[in-house]
Chain A
């Protein structure tokens, strides 16, 4: 076995005293499915003369659910427990120090930890395909199903690994929130697809101008995100204290993400031209999807205070300044991401009936909300070494900023007050865009930016002063200069 980590998991998983237990559980489950279905079928045949292909299709669906449990729940769960378990056991330092490449570590953990699960899933796929074919399902539909199950499983496994692996925090098992996520977003769709599968068809979705089977499209999206999750894993296994996204990575992710989302909205933009009432509202959906990414990416790509110190260490003291730091800061990245979103959405406006000026006003005001939030975030990052609990305060302010306008609006019965919250503004603009976008919240936001902005600049200045003091005769700095 080329990957030592796979072999490491192979030892405890495949010990003869426990392999037979896994075997019996699996065989019992399969036998139970077969026996119960056969009994039901025998009963139904007597009552309503059921056709045999329906039995096979039923079995096919039940094996799909079996795969769902194995590949979407158990496999990611196993992966999510590896690092948290080792941290708890205090053996993680040994794993961290193993001179294996990040790729070997990811493959070793995902494959090694799930050797038994994947073996069962492989056998299950045989049943799944055999019963599907016997149930008169076409081969392309079955292939789409296999791709769908595998790609989502890969995504979940990689996400589970990523969520469990940051070394600076002793994290617990993140599988419970992940399970909730799976059930909220995955399971309802899975049931719809199952139902369609039972009918022997899959729905097609328009992506730009192409009709693509929905399973294939979802698999594509899952693989896209899985690709990024694996890049994140590679990054955290090699540069453990770096942010999940490099600045360039965050930009590329956003651009590709917007291209993908635009592909989903594009047909609607075109069809909205012919609609009479509120044709522009579909654009808000596109804007919202983009804004979600723009809001989350700076969190994933955040540089910590230690990272700022490390960056500034590599800069020659003569070049090091607040401007230098600002150009490489979280603020600058957030601004670039926001501008990218504005450019993309402006471009998308050409496809539909929405005036670009309307969007630009909306984007400008939303930009001031974004500034406040990002400055709060940066304040928390840069000052947390001095005030370790500052995150609680900024978190509280963040919640206040989101929801206080709603409370005030309800209290004074003035609907417009909700526009002073970022969420409320989006909603207000969505409801009232025909009357023009309100701009007054921007003034208040600029005022809100002053204090955190000043604190952040002051902190940058302190970093510069401290680094210059520290590195006055540091050999490394001399080399860099």
Chain B
């Protein structure tokens, strides 16, 4: 079931096109990471989806409600966390969550229990009676998530939730997000720090200059990144022997050799790598390292960002 679908969503600020005809869809239970440099249009896109900013053109259907015609319906069913925010500074943590629960129509009897569960989830049970203005940045970020979680939205829109946090707060936030992901929640999360998203995103969209340049599942993105397997072999000695053995191995091509390190390209699956390892060992070559080199998201991001031409249609198929 599609929770979010956009069609040619566009936002112009005068002569600046902040978001340019963006189309993608997110299925229920997917965790989509929206990656892009500052000024890529991520916040504008999220604010449009959160009904806070009217699009210039295009349309979107969120949780079955039309972005133009049913904004109130959408607001009931999403949880949006802005990039820079504070909660109500004159309220305590409990009052804040109580207010959210009541405003979003959580039944009176369930409110206390829901608040307790959410506070436990964000690990702030002991801060229940503290005024929000006395919380640290990391705690505010977690309470912000709790503010959304208390009404259990169908779709979370999180705009750079880890920005400005110290490493410990980041880990804590990451755990909460993993937990949401584990519970099958649909999440659209933006970030310009790629390491924040790896590990729990099921899908990735890479955005630059208002355009989504690549979109797909993590596997699809990995496949795009690594169309061929590159394996690095480090031997203790006799690299020439290893080279001659490799040259006779049918499913691998030697890319380069420097010192005791050889880099090979494989066109077949992981069993070929295992066969090669067995061959080397059986021929008396002392292998001390055999690893597959994988490009990470950062490499892809840099590669795509440096592309001159946008690829507006390449993602459309991947998204559908």
Contact = CB atoms under 8 A, between A and B. Distances in A.
B103 A99 contact: yes
Nearest to A242: B54
A292 interface: no
Contacts of A12: 90-91
A173 to B, nearest CB: 17
Interface stretch (B74-82, B167-175, B241-249, B260-268): B74-82
Contacts of A94: 85, 87-88, 100, 147
Contacts of A306: 54, 56
Interface residues of A: mostly helix, strand, loop or mixed? helix
A310 B57 CA distance: 7
Interface residues of A, number: 32
A91 B88 contact: yes
B294 to A, nearest CB: 38
A8 interface: yes
A332 interface: no
Contacts of A385: 13-15
B59 A470 contact: no
Contacts of B315: none
B87 A91 contact: yes
A11 interface: yes
A97 B75 contact: yes
A177 interface: no
Interface residues on B, range: 35 or more
A285 interface: no
A471 B103 contact: no
Contacts of B52: 93, 96-97
B51 A7 contact: no
A297 B83 CA distance: 37
Interface string A90-117: 1101101111110000000000000000
Interface in B38-95: 50-52, 54, 56-59, 72, 75-76, 78, 80, 82, 84-92, 95
A470 B103 contact: no
A8 B92 CA distance: 11
B105 interface: yes
Contacts of A5: 103
B76 A99 contact: yes
Given A89-B89, A90-B86, A470 B10 contact: yes
Nearest to B47: A93
Contacts of B117: none
B99 A7 contact: yes
B316 to A, nearest CB: 13
A89 B85 CA distance: 8
A90 B137 CA distance: 13
A99 B54 contact: no
B295 interface: no
A241 B47 CA distance: 14
Interface in B248-265: none
B13 to A, nearest CB: 8
B85 A93 contact: yes
A91 B85 contact: yes
A474 interface: yes
A364 interface: no
A5 B58 CA distance: 34
A467 to B, nearest CB: 8
A384 B14 CA distance: 8
Given A89-B89, A93-B85, A474-B57, A98 B103 contact: yes
25 contacts: A5-B103, A7-B98, A7-B99, A89-B88, A89-B89, A91-B86, A93-B52, A94-B87, A94-B88, A97-B52, A97-B78, A97-B80, A98-B75, A98-B104, A101-B72, A309-B57, A313-B57, A385-B15, A386-B14, A386-B15, A388-B14, A474-B7, A474-B8, A474-B58, A476-B59
Top-5 shortest CB links A-B: A385-B14, A4-B102, A12-B90, A99-B76, A4-B103
Interface of A: 4-5, 7-8, 11-12, 89-91, 93-94, 96-101, 238, 241, 306, 309-310, 313, 384-386, 388, 470-471, 474-476
Interface of B: 7-8, 10, 12-15, 50-52, 54, 56-59, 72, 75-76, 78, 80, 82, 84-92, 95, 98-100, 102-105, 147
